[in-house]
Amino acid sequence: MSTISFEYFPPKTAEGRAALLEKTTPALQALDPAFFSVTYGAGGSTRDSTLGIVEALCAQGIDVAPHLSFGADDRDTIAALLQRYRDMGVRRLVALRGDLPSGMGSAGQLVYASELVAFVREQTGAHFHIEVAAYPEIHPQADSYDSDLKFLKRKLDAGADSAITQYFYNVESYFYFLDQCAAIGIDKPIVAGIMPITNFTNLARFSRNCGAEIPRWICQRIEGYGDDQESIRQFGIEVVTQLCQTLLDSGAPGLHFYTMNQIEPTRQIRNNLGL
Ligand code: FAD
């Protein structure tokens, strides 16, 4: 059976935090997700705010998966953070290399996710279920499609249990990717990352950076709506619902929604699905 899960980022303001915990979370929790995940700024730039949201969600009895990366942190700092999470009752992590926050320049360093996975296993044994990232349309810095696949396998072989993909709108890229993963011996679940269409300008900019393609027909349709936000909203829900339904019908092991800390349109898409 397919699961659903929801991703948050740590809000920057007290108002944002209160809205996330008191309004958004009860509404999304009612949709019966397997877990909520909370992103992490590489280099520890959101260490305290990620920890704070994770702690608050744990206190509500919610299954939370903090994202984690080494960034510029040393082993002791990450080991201490892992211990804090264990003490809170966290059982799941999303282990990443991460990207350096802009402005950090050469002051930061990046440690491959496979090394973090190995470190977490070394420190905490089988305690955590570890998720890693996967890229059906290839990670933008990868040397080649094949090398990116090889490094995904390395993360899973280092002890990760499953993967969550970067979002995509070309469903064929995901199915092709699953076939290629199977061909090199990857047999762990690869959950589909789902990005609802909210702010199209921001989405288009972000997609250029992370290497996710927005198909031309979607761009053309949205541009054709001009300032008609209601039509864009409805079209976005229709397109992403269709994408999710195709994934579910084809046996995708799960859908992980990048909620952007919003209830809608994730709730509407979820309610449209034959789950
Ligand atoms: P890795 O798996 O380490 O790979 C990074 C690149 O290096 C790839 O091109 C890979 O092919 C290559 N590579 C891997 N291993 C080796 C090796 N041994 N030698 C040479 N090359 C290698 N970013 C954040 O900052 N915070 C978050 O919370 C966050 N959450 C995310 C959640 C999901 C589900 C996804 C899909 C992405 C998320 N990201 C997040 C973005 C992610 O951090 C970036 O895409 C980052 O650039 C790569 O991280 P990774 O863990 O995939 O890296």
Residue 248 lies in domain: 3-273
Token pair belonging to 42: 């590489």
Give the Å distance between the CA of 226 and the centre of ligand 1. 35
DSSP type of residue 181: H
What are the pLDDT digits (tens) for 224-268? Answer: 999 999 999 999 999 999 999 999 999 999 999 999 999 999 999
With a pLDDT cut of 90, the percent of the chain lying above it is 87
Which of 148, 167, 260 lies closest to 210, judged by CA?
167
Per-residue pLDDT, 44: 73
Q: Which atom of ligand 1 is nearest to the CA of 99?
A: 25
pTM of the predicted structure, to 2 decimals: 0.97
Domain with 242 in it: what CATH number? 3.20.20.220
Active-site residue identified among 7, 15, 55, 223:
7
Count of structural domains, the chain: 1
7 is catalytic: yes
Nearest CA to ligand 1 atom 7: 142
The mean per-residue pLDDT over the stretch 200-215 comes to 92
What are the pLDDT digits (tens) for 50-93? Answer: 999 999 999 999 999 999 999 888 999 999 999 999 999 999 99
What are the pLDDT digits (tens) for 137-148? Answer: 999 999 999 999
Q: Which atom of ligand 1 is nearest to the CA of 256?
A: 34
139 ligand 1 Cβ < 6 A: yes
